[in-house]
Structures are given as structure tokens and as C-alpha cells.
Structure 1
Amino acid sequence: MFRLSFALVALIVLSLINLYSYQRFLKRLDFLRKIQLPIKVGMVLITLCEISYFMFLRLDGLDPFLYALFSAMIGVSFMLFCVALLYDLFHIPYAKIPHDYSRRLFLKMVFDVTMLLLALSYMLKGFFNGMKAPVIKEVEVLIQGLREELSIVQISDVHIGKVLGKAFMDDIVDKINTLNADIVVITGDLVDMPVHEIGDKLDSLGTIKSRLGVYFVPGNHEYFYGVHDIMAHVESLGVHILPNRSMVIHNTINLVGVMDMIGKRFDFSPPDAPQAFLHVAPELPTILLAHQPKFIKELKDENVDLMISGHTHGGQIFPFGLLVLLDQPYLSGLYQHSKTTQVFVSNGAGYWGPAVRVMAPSEIVKLILKPNA
């Protein structure tokens, strides 16, 4: 029911922004007046592609090329809408400036061409960035009471599924294995498919080089496809699973993991902080793995030095991050949540929906934890 409601709302929103983009931007470009019918047909086709995407989102057998094409249209719609909104905003002061008729026509043509070029470059740059391999990002984090320096390599939101497959996962593991990690953590949304479709796509997880192990907590997308089956499969590859539980690592840190927040909405395998923190060693610093940054608000008496999250994709397509911040307290990077607690949010290594990223590059993160003397 949740997925059906989400799909219906998404389709209504996408249809409305496509209508807005046509009426308030594309239709008003005078030099495109002679090809308005093809443009109108194009916008209808984009909307139909988006309808098809949400109709087949959870179904097997859809050709990966069509899946990628349909999802790409969501990116096109959002970026066109952003440019259309900007076009409207610039027209407000423009309309109040007195010009003679010929000068007004000339300025409008220049403005229209500029905005169309902006739209095209915005989209091309977004798809180009979306297809890039994840970059390696290093972040230093000072941890009170830490006895020795530790490196934690984080991957999140890989979204192995209909488009991103074994080759993508293998490449990520190859990059991880160059980083000399003490610990590797996977903070959810690893897959976008049920266990029976995974095959060998995740097998390279078993070859990750990490001195003190590899650890996993699920994200919301694992719940869509059978969270317990997926956790069991990941565990069979030699990865430690932390579903509302903790481990003391190398007598140096507590590593705590929780189930995802969507479990509360589904009323199924919800996060349970008291259970997760039940066996932590109070004299050691505590690192918490939670897929969604907003889990930090669920903590009450639990002491956390650093929470590591994903989920937001850094907004994925600027300025979509502004909407993400309506739901999540943090978007991307390292934040000081309180005097004793920091939160790090990764942009993620893969993508969901359109293969588009603008000002939110995909990443593999190496967190270098240092004692805060």
C-alpha cells in the first residue's frame, strides 16, 4: 500500500511539473514556436515513460535499457522544472523594466536562448556526472576517548539492481581494497532486488580487505525486497550484520547498528535503540550505523560519538536537496549534532531512479578517526 501511494503521488507531481515546464517555459520560447507540436508530444512521451517506470518498478523482466530510459525521464522532468521556475522568477523583474518594443523582443530572444542553453547544459552535466564512477573522499573525524587512530571506509546507497550490477559492485570493492581500511561499513540500500535475483552480483563483498571486518545495516530499500532474506545473503558472504545489535571492535570502539526507520512505518523489524545499545562498553567511544540521518532524533539516553548514515544521496540533483532537508536533518558531509555527537552523511556510491547527479557526486568515503586529545 505504501509503494502504491508513493507511486501515485509521484506520478501526480511529475505530471504537474511537466505541465508547468511546458506552459511556463517551453511554450514561451518564441524561436521554438514552429515546433510546438513536437515539443508537446515530447512532454507527453516523457510523462508516459514516467508512468511506465512506476508501473514496472517492482516487476521482473523489464529490459534494463527501458528501465534506465524511463527512470532518466524523471531527471529530465525535474531539471526542466527547475529551469522553468528560474525562467518565471527572472521574468518578474524583466517585465517591470521599460523597453521599446524592438529592444524588448531582442532581450527576450537573448534571455530565451540563454535559458534553453542552461537547461541543456544542466541536463547534459547531470547525466555525465551520474555515469561517473564514485570518487574516494577522505574525512578526518576527532573522537573523544579514542585510543588509537582507525580508518572506517563507508559505502552506502549502492542500489545494485536492474541497471547497476556485478561490474559496478566489483569496481567499488576494487577501490575499497586500495584504501587499507581497518573497518568497512555498508549503511543500507545495498540492493534494489529480491534475493532470488541477486545471483553473483554481490559476491565480491567476500573479497573486501579490511583488518577488523565488514559490517552491514539495512536501508529502506532492503525492506521493499525482503530485508531478512537480504541480510542473510549478505551475511553468507562473510559480512557481519548489525540488526539492532552492537559489537566491541578490537577493544577500541563500540560499533552499533540499527534497522531502518521505515520499519516503524511498516510495523515490521523497526529500529530499537535500547536493544542495540544493550551490550556496549561504556568506557569506549561508540560509532552508530543508521541508514537515515534522522535516526539521530530517536536517541534518548544513548551516548554516540559518531553516527554514520546515507540515504539522502546528497540530494542527488541540485536543488532537490532542499526538499530532502524537509525530511532529514542533515544532507551531506560531517555535522556537529551536539557537544558530544557528530553525524556523517554520505552521498552514496550509486543512484536511485535517474542516472543523474548535480553537485552531489557519488562517493566511497574513508573516515579517519583520530583521538581528540
Structure 2
Amino acid sequence: MAHPDPTTSDAPVRPGTTRRRVVSGLVLVSITALLFAVPWAGLFAPGAEWPTPVVVVGTAAFALTGLAFPVLLVRSLGRRHSDRAARIALPLLGVVWIAFAWALITHVLRLVLAVAGVENPFRARFLAVLLAVIVVGLAVHGHHVAMRVPGVRRADVVLPRLDPAFDGLTVAVLADTHYGPIDRTRWSRGLVAAVNELGADVVVHVGDLADGTVEQRRPQSTPLGDVRAGHRFYVSGNHEYLSNAQAWMEHMEELGWTSLHNRHRVLERDGARLVFAGVDDITAVHSGEAGHAADLDAALAGVGPEDPVVLLAHQPGEIGTAVAAGVDLQLSGHTHGGQIWPFHLLVRLQQPVLHGLSDHGARTRLWTSRGAGFWGPPFRVFAPNEISLLTLRSR
């Protein structure tokens, strides 16, 4: 049965919906104005006394880009999900965020230089050139880091309840590959090659596999089928629930991975047991996908009280639930380590940790990966991507 296209339907738009759209539009325009105005003031401050043509051309470039930006961003992240628009809007978002953050710093430095007696136009011109050099340098380097095959971050993780039979078990952790508008099929093959070189006993992917549907991102994600390990486990992230998480789980199963959809698997070695469990992302309950919601009780059903448990949960914020359940180790991603400094300050308002190994409760440990890819802007500034290689130790 055909369904009416909501974009062409004659059904009246409810006043509440219209009001929300207007408010959202005003917020977006206001944020855009702030993001562009602060760097503009840093580069073209009146005290710099730049030649008039420089100021006119620079101001026009900022104004035109600022007007186009919200339109492109809505086309990228709104209902249209235009990859073409995203390939322009998202890099621009990254550059303007870097410029905004560092312009604020140069504005503080402006006051310091003024107190020190440094006069204009030298003061304003020096800071403008400094800001431009910093923004270009960080953007170029940050793009290189984001687009490279990530390096390996190694750590030994002691789990007191781990049977000595599993001492030395290696777990490679992938997270946040975020296959998206930029075609990274070649990058994906390089990622898989890097993982295979590690020879890990277990490889896990802890979610945010892609932005888009399976059909859109199939070429980029298919190389994951070539990952070599005795066991390969996957759980959903919040971004899968924007584009049919069930289809992504089925796709990973087709590639030979085990989707730990609120369930577990038991590894056995010399009579000893080690449980790998997984839960849906915490956002699943609001996704509208039937049968999807984080359910740790279901994931651990049948697990013995003496069995050590490694839990795959996309967001480190779920550590409280893991502690209450007596989980030994939680593996998470989601934070990207902040991705573009100083965005990590906002991430820390939502999540208990940014990256690395941390202890929680009496026995629960948490490993948070900075992730292999990136979301949105193809930049990583002071938050390098990674493949984690954890060696489990019993003592």
C-alpha cells in the first residue's frame, strides 16, 4: 500500500510543529552567526587597519559562507541526508569550530598584549596572522589524523576474577568507524589490515558503525568481513538507530560477526569460562525499532555468578549499570576523545570518562576507545583515532 509523501501531503501542519521549526531555525541561525562573527572579529579587527579591499573581500567571504552554511547543514543532517551537501557542510563546520575556539583565545591574548603596551595596528595584525596560521595548521593536521589508518594503543587490563587459563588473551577494540558521506572504502581495507596484523584472539566493534543505511555504506563496511580472529563481536551504537540498527546487525552477521543484541557468548579454555556480553545502545528504546532496548539482565541471563564478564556497551555512561551487575570489564567508545579540541569539555558533561582505562565500583573496569573514525567534520584535533589492543591479565 502506498503512503503519502509527507513533503507533498495536503495535511495541515500543526501549530506546535511550525513553532518548533521556527525556534530550531532561529537557534541554528544564531549559533551560525556567533561561530562566524568571532573569527571574523579576530581576523579583521578595526585596530588592524587592513586595506579596505582586504576587509571588504574578507567580510564578503565570511558573510556568503555564513549564509550558505545553515542551508547546507540542514540538507546534510535533516530529512534529505544529502551526501553531496555533507561533503561541504561538515568540513566547513570543523574549520569554523577550530577558528571559533582559537579566536576566543586570541581575544584573551589581545587584552594581555594591550596591558603589556603593544599598540595597534601591530597588535591586531599579529594576532590575526597568528590566528590564521593556527587554524590552517590545525585543520591540515587534524584532517590528516582523521583520515589516516589509526595507530594501535596497547594496554594490559588486570581482571582479578579472570582464570589464569585466559591470562594473555588479546582483545582488539574498534569503535566509531562512522562510515559516511566521504567514501572511505580504501581506509576501511587499511583498518582491517592493521587489525589483522595484531593477531588478536577476539575483535570487537562497540558501535557507531556507520551514518546511513546498509545500502548506502555497504562498500565501506564490507571489508570488515575480512577481519581475522577466533571471535568477532559487535553491538549497536546510537548512530545505527538513525538508520535501521536491525539491518546493520543483520549485515554484520552476514559478514561473519556475532551481534550481541542483548545476549552473550561464552569462551572456554581448559575448563575455564569467560563471558562476552553485549547490550543495545541506550538510545534504542526511543528509536521505534521493535525489540530494541538496552537490557543487561537479558544479556547476562544464564551467566554464572563466578563467570568473569566482558561487556560491550557503546556509551561509557552505562558503567553504572555494569557496576550494579558485577561486570568485570566494560568496553565502550562514543566519546571520540572529544574529536576536536576543546569539544571534549562538552563531552565530559555527558560521559564519565573521555578515553582509556578507568576503575568503577569494587571490581568493574572500563575501557573507553577514542574510536577509529570520526563523526561529521573530517578532523581530529588533540584526540587521535585508535585501534585498542587489550591484553587481559589475571594478576
> How far apart are 1:289 and its partner, in Å?
0.6
2:65 aligns to what?
46
Q: How far, CA to CA, are the matches of 2:22 and 2:192 in structure 1?
A: 36
Q: Secondary structure at the residue paired with 2:197?
A: coil
Residue pairs, 1:245-324, within 5 angstroms: 245-250=263-268, 251-266=272-287, 268=289, 269-299=292-322, 301-324=324-347
Q: Secondary structure at the residue paired with 1:177?
A: helix
> How far apart are 1:118 and its partner, in Å?
2.4
1:154 aligns to what?
173
CA, structure 1 residues 115+270, in 2 after alignment: closer, same or farther (shift >3 Å)? same
- Normalised to the residue count of structure 2, the TM-score between the two structures is 0.84
- Name stretches of at least 5 consecutive residues in structure 2 with no aligned partner: 1-16
Residue pairs, 1:116-127, within 5 angstroms: 116-127=132-143
Equivalent pair of 1:166/1:200 in contact (CA under 8 Å): yes
Q: How far, CA to CA, are the matches of 1:122 and 1:183 in structure 2?
A: 35
CA, structure 1 residues 86+69, in 2 after alignment: closer, same or farther (shift >3 Å)? same
> How far apart are 1:104 and its partner, in Å?
5.0
Counterpart amino acid of 1:135? G
Counterpart amino acid of 2:296? A
Q: How far, CA to CA, are the matches of 2:173 and 2:194 in structure 1?
A: 12
2:131 aligns to what?
115
Q: Secondary structure at the residue paired with 1:326?
A: helix
Q: Secondary structure at the residue paired with 2:144?
A: helix
CA, structure 1 residues 16+109, in 2 after alignment: closer, same or farther (shift >3 Å)? closer
CA, structure 1 residues 339+215, in 2 after alignment: closer, same or farther (shift >3 Å)? same
Q: How far, CA to CA, are the matches of 1:146 and 1:29 in structure 2?
A: 65
- Name stretches of at least 5 consecutive residues in structure 1 with no aligned partner: none
> How far apart are 1:323 and its partner, in Å?
0.9
2:235 aligns to what?
217
Q: How far, CA to CA, are the matches of 2:49 and 2:303 in structure 1?
A: 67
Once the two structures are superposed, what CA deviation does each residue of 1:158-213 show, in whole Å capped at 9, x if it has no partner? Answer: 111221432222221111111111101001011112123234433322222112x1
Equivalent pair of 1:50/1:74 in contact (CA under 8 Å): no
1:233 aligns to what?
251
Higher mean alpha-carbon deviation, 228-237 vs 32-41, is at: 32-41
- From 352, 366, 369, the equivalent of 2:392 is 369
2:368 aligns to what?
345
Equivalent pair of 2:110/2:127 in contact (CA under 8 Å): no
Q: Work out whether 1:86 is the aligned partner of 2:105.
A: yes
2:13 aligns to what?
none
Equivalent pair of 1:50/1:73 in contact (CA under 8 Å): no
2:226 aligns to what?
207
- Compute the RMSD of aligned alpha carbons: 2.6
- From 173, 182, 192, the equivalent of 1:163 is 182
1:14 aligns to what?
32
- From 171, 190, 199, the equivalent of 2:209 is 190
Q: Secondary structure at the residue paired with 2:330?
A: strand
Counterpart amino acid of 2:185? K
Q: Secondary structure at the residue paired with 1:325?
A: helix
- Normalised to the residue count of structure 1, the TM-score between the two structures is 0.89
Q: How far, CA to CA, are the matches of 1:5 and 1:257 in structure 2?
A: 40
Q: How far, CA to CA, are the matches of 1:26 and 1:289 in structure 2?
A: 49
Equivalent pair of 2:176/2:336 in contact (CA under 8 Å): yes
Q: How far, CA to CA, are the matches of 1:264 and 1:20 in structure 2?
A: 39
Matched residue count: 365
